Amino acid sequence: MAKKASKKTTSVRSHARKVPVSKKNPSGVTIVDKHVRRLEGTYLNREDIKKIIIGPELKGLTYPNSKKLKYPNSDKYDSLIALWVDYFNQKFKDEVPLDPNVVKALIGSESSFRENPSENKTAFGLTQITKQTLKILQDHKGEAKDFIFQNITKKDLLDPDISIALTTRWLFRKKQTAKSNLKENQQMKKLF
Amino acid sequence: MKLLQNKIYVILLFFISLINSCSTLEQPTFRELKEENDKYGTVLSTRSELIVLECEDLSHPENFYGFMIHTLGPSKEYFTFTQGNTLDKGSCFKRIKKMTSMMKGSKQIQLVGYGNGLPTEKSNRKINFVGIGEFSDSGIGYKFMALKNDRGECYDAYEGMTLPCPSAMKNPWSETK
């Protein structure tokens, strides 16, 4: 019996696509093989992330506490944190929403608000995302398949716009794991 | 005979300088970093022999290591400064090597830690400070931010060796020697 297709994806039949004329493609047409495409609203790529950030100013966002942490730049990313926490709280509609202070505390612990801490060779950027985590966040069959990212590279992790988005989504995944392990919906403070 | 007199003179000088250096060994001191009575960090001034550096294997599939600095306090219990993020094995052991060479020959070491310094549950683990003995946990820990020797060299928790010293928090070096 054929496997039931996921609601997050659609199957695209093999089709022709116009490309610039080159030695490889003198006709200016190439054939794209049959593939699976994510449905809109179930993924974000670099360009989508940037569009959301420069989009209209959102009102009523919950900001993390300011002037509490004593690191240089500790309040610099408050609006980004508020934006992405709101985005994913709306997306996942969990009965216990994510507190933006959790994201801020995580950044404080992981990098002390440095965009490119150079001391660790296996984790990158403000939130110290590892290659393994990046892989999971982009795997349409992986544990974060409900909502994934596409075309994000290791270099992109040095961009706070992108790393905060990925981290916030990852925290929702971790919350889900804890919820299932502990058989109850935990407050974020309890989880940490 | 004159040579013997000279030798005795040199030996005497050596002992005098040894007694002098022993009597001036400073005890570790903490300077609290505060704002509106809220303590947010500490600057510990201590000696290199009262410091033990450690990389702990976290048995994680991605081969993570935790970095810690244990330091013997005035109350004869140790305090731990812990790196906020995990490190890869290579980076962790490399920093131990660098910090050890920084501490060598330095009479005073300063450690900057983030946190309120309130005691938590004590671990049962004892730490051996070479030539001094084994000591128990004070239950007090800070997040490691930076280490500085008396030659002005600094090791930042996130950037490695840096010059000038990083202001990892609200200027921790402003009142230190």
Q: Say which CATH number the domain at A151 has.
A: 1.10.530
Q: With 90 as the cut, is the pLDDT of residue B23 above it?
A: no
Angle between helices A46-54 and A160-182 (to 10 degrees): 100
| Those residues with Cβ within 8 angstroms of residue A71's Cβ, 6 or more apart along the chain or in another chain | A108, A112, A113, B114, B168, B169
| Partner-chain contact B170 A70, CB within 8 Å | yes
The residue of chain A with its CA nearest to that of B84 is A109
Cβ separation of A111 and B158 shorter than 8 Å? yes
pLDDT band (50, 70, 90) for residue A78:
very high
A85 and A33 in a common domain = no
Q: How far apart are CA A14 and CA B15, in angstroms?
A: 89
Nearest to B85 among A121, A123, A132 (CB): A123
| pLDDT tier for residue B167 given thresholds of 50, 70 and 90 | confident
What's residue A152's pLDDT? 96
User: Concatenated DSSP letters for chain A?
Assistant: -PPPPPTTEEEE--EEEE----SS-TTSEEEEPPEEEEPTTSEEEHHHHHHHHHSSPPSSPPPPP-S-S-STTTTTTHHHHHHHHHHHHHHH--SSPPPHHHHHHHHHHHHTT-SS-TT-SSEETTTTEEHHHHHHHT-TTSTTTTSEEES--TGGGGSHHHHHHHHHHHHHHHHHHHHHHHTS---HHHH-
Chain A residues within 8 A of B86 when measuring between CB atoms? 120, 123
> Are A117 and A166 found together in one domain?
yes
- Is A181 found in the same domain as A103? yes
In a domain, B75, yes or no: yes
Overall number of domains in chain B: 1
The mean predicted confidence, pLDDT, of chain B is 86
pLDDT at B7: 63
Choose among A71, A72, A111: nearest Cβ to B85.
Answer: A111
> A-chain residues within 8 Å CB-CB of B43?
none
Give A37's strand partners. A10
**3-class state of residue B37 by DSSP:** coil
Beta-carbon separation of A119 and B159 below 8 A: yes
| Token pair recorded at residue B142 | 């800070």
Residues of A in contact with B94 (CB under 8 A): none
Give the model's pLDDT for residue A155.
Answer: 95
Chain-chain contact of B35 with A108 (C-beta, under 8 angstroms): no
pLDDT-based confidence at A189, cuts 50/70/90? low
Preceding peptide of A64 cis, ω within 30°: no
- How far is it, in rounded angstroms, from Cα B50 to Cα B70? 8
* A74: in domain: yes
User: CA of B35: how far to CAs of A72, A73, B165, in Å?
Assistant: 15, 17, 22
Looking at the predicted structure, is the pLDDT value of residue B3 above 60?
Answer: no
Please say if the pLDDT value at position B100 is more than 80: yes
Write down the pLDDT at residue A180: 81
Report the distance separating Cα A99 and Cα A61, nearest Å: 11
Write down the pTM of the prediction: 0.80
Tell which of B55, B158, B165, B171 to mutate to test the A interface (max A CBs under 10 Å): B158
Q: Mind telling me how many Å the CA of B100 is from chain A's nearest CA?
A: 17
Q: Can you list the pairs that B90-99 forms with residues at least 24 positions away whose Cβ atoms lie under 8 Å?
A: B90/A121, B91/A119, B91/A120, B91/A121, B92/B55, B92/B65, B92/B67, B93/B55, B93/B65, B95/A119, B95/B67, B95/B155, B95/B160, B96/B53, B96/B54, B96/B55, B96/B67, B98/B155, B98/B160, B98/B161, B99/B53, B99/B147, B99/B155
The residue range of the domain holding A22 is 8-39
A123 touching B, CB under 8 A?
yes
Residue B101 has pLDDT above 50, yes or no: yes
Of B40, B91, B114, the CB nearest to A121: B91
Looking at the fold, whether A89 and A12 belong to one and the same domain comes out as: no
Instruction: Judge whether residue B171 has pLDDT over 70.
Output: no
Q: How far is A150 from chain B (nearest CA, A)?
A: 23
Residue A45 domain flag: yes
Nearest to B88 among A70, A112, A121 (CB): A121
CB distance from A72 to chain B under 8 Å? yes
Is A131 within a domain? yes
pLDDT level of residue B11 (50, 70, 90 thresholds): low
How far apart are the C-alpha atoms of A191 and A170, rounded to whole Å? 14
Q: Do A121 and B169 touch (CB under 8 A)?
A: no
Provide the pLDDT for residue A23. 86
Tokens for A4?
Answer: 């039931």
Tell if the CB–CB gap between A119 and B168 is shorter than 8 Å.
Answer: no
d(CA B126, CA B105): 26
Residues A104 and A118 in one domain: yes
Domain range enclosing B110: 27-162
Q: How confident is the model at residue A1 (pLDDT cuts 50, 70, 90)?
A: very low
From CA A162, how far away is CA A152, in angstroms rounded?
A: 8
pLDDT tens for each residue of A26-76: 888 888 887 776 777 788 999 999 999 987 777 789 999 999 898 889 999
CB contact under 8 A, A122 and B158: no
Q: Are residues A78 and A53 both part of a single domain? A: yes
Is residue A3 domain-resident? no
The pLDDT tens digits of the residues spanning B65-79 come to 999 999 999 999 999
Range scoring the smallest mean pLDDT among B12-26, B39-53, B70-84, B129-143: B12-26
Q: Which of A17-26, B24-33, B112-121 has the lowest mean pLDDT?
A: B24-33
